[in-house]
Copies of this chain bind each other. A is one copy, B any other.
Amino acid sequence: QSAVTLYGLIDVSVGQAQAPGAAANKGVDSGNMTTSFWGVKGSEDLGGGLSAVFALESFLRADVAAAGRFGADTFWARSAYVGLSSGAGTVTLGRNTTSLFVNTLIFNAFGDSFGFSPAIRQTFTSGNNFQVSGDTGWSDSVKYASPRFGGLTFTAHAALGEGNGGRNFGLSALYFGGPLGAGFAWQKVEKGGTTPDTTAWQLGASFNMAPVKFYAQYGTSDNKTIDNTTKVLGLGADWTIGNGKALLQWGKLSPDAGADRKTLSFGYDYLMSKRTDLYAVYMHDKLDGLSAGKSYGLGIRHRF
């Protein structure tokens, strides 16, 4: 018998999704604010300040009742690791979330929203030649997360190529003190025979002037495979109003070669509880030379 936690998040919304220059699709969608998932995790106290930790997390699409973020996604793609944690930090082996993804989601008003966050979308989904490669989690990887030194933590992350491209490396640092948050992440991706080799870095910051919190991030992704560097700038704020937050985020993606992209999202997230919120969001997504994509959603997000 064991102390295992079964948990997850379901996010379903009704609205419209429209890519720049494309037709609009109305429908019911899953995971626009946070990608829906379920998981199992636990830890075991081994004595002497040491503990074993593990997590298995599986994305899902509640709208079409399917596992994964897309048809060919692996079942445990969100996380699948086991490791040890102590006062000297935590080492986990398996599938580990990248620190670049964590840095991106911390320093923008829309968090880890693949549906509406300009920062997340421009860094991770803006066309094969512009985005960072290697996904938001790395398989076959070892990750180290430091303990807290004052407000400072850092991570190191490596994934082995295993005959399918080279290795991936990542480094990050994160600082929180008083109203200020700041983060830096760097990563180099060579794993995966068909994915582009990219090197990326990103600086992020937040400043809390309650009831308003400001966000900024800037970074570049250097696609070595086609020799193209892309800059991504993000600025945003959230404003606590009543039992919720007004959200505003703007982002600009500028590749050396290729069209600029400017994305603006705003909305309101009403917190029914710590675990359940309702949201209404609009996103205006402009790619130079194409008509703007206009997307919106009215949704519910529940953590269990």
Binding site for B on A (CB under 8 A): 1-2, 4-8, 10-14, 25-28, 30, 38, 40, 42, 44, 46-47, 50, 52, 54, 56, 60-67, 74-84, 93-95, 137, 139-142, 159-163, 272-273, 275-276, 299-304
- Given A66-B75, A76-B66, A275-B52: A82 touches B2 (CB 8 Å cut-off): no
Q: Report the minimum CB–CB distance from A195 to chain B (whole Å).
A: 15
Q: How far is the CA of A95 from the CA of B29 in the complex (A)?
A: 11
Q: Report the minimum CB–CB distance from A238 to chain B (whole Å).
A: 22
Report chain B residues within 8 Å CB of A299.
Answer: 93
A60 touches B76 (CB 8 A): yes
Cβ contacts A to B, 13 pairs, < 8 Å: A1-B5, A14-B142, A27-B163, A28-B160, A44-B302, A44-B304, A46-B272, A52-B276, A64-B74, A65-B74, A65-B76, A65-B94, A84-B300
Identical subunits present: 3
Q: How far is the CA of A42 from the CA of B275 in the complex (A)?
A: 12
Q: How far is the CA of A6 from the CA of B94 in the complex (A)?
A: 21
Identify which of B8, B10, B27, B44 contacts A273 (C-beta below 8 A): B44
Q: Report the minimum CB–CB distance from A256 to chain B (whole Å).
A: 33
B139 touches A65 (CB 8 A): yes
Q: How far is the CA of A6 from the CA of B3 in the complex (A)?
A: 9
- Given A38-B40, A304-B54: A65 touches B28 (CB 8 Å cut-off): no
B50 touches A62 (CB 8 A): no
A81 touches B26 (CB 8 A): no
Q: How far is the CA of A12 from the CA of B299 in the complex (A)?
A: 38
A52 touches B4 (CB 8 A): no
A81 touches B40 (CB 8 A): no
Q: How far is the CA of A283 from the CA of B294 in the complex (A)?
A: 55
- Given A4-B6, A162-B26, A304-B4: A139 touches B64 (CB 8 Å cut-off): yes
B6 touches A40 (CB 8 A): yes
Name the residue of chain B whose CB is nearest to the CB of A82.
B10
Identify which of B83, B139, B300 contacts A83 (C-beta below 8 A): B300
Identify which of B63, B84, B304 contacts A140 (C-beta below 8 A): B63
Report chain B residues within 8 Å CB of A74.
Answer: 64-67
Q: Report the minimum CB–CB distance from A29 to chain B (whole Å).
A: 8
Report chain B residues within 8 Å CB of A64.
Answer: 74, 95, 139-140
Q: How far is the CA of A160 from the CA of B12 in the complex (A)?
A: 14
A2 touches B65 (CB 8 A): no
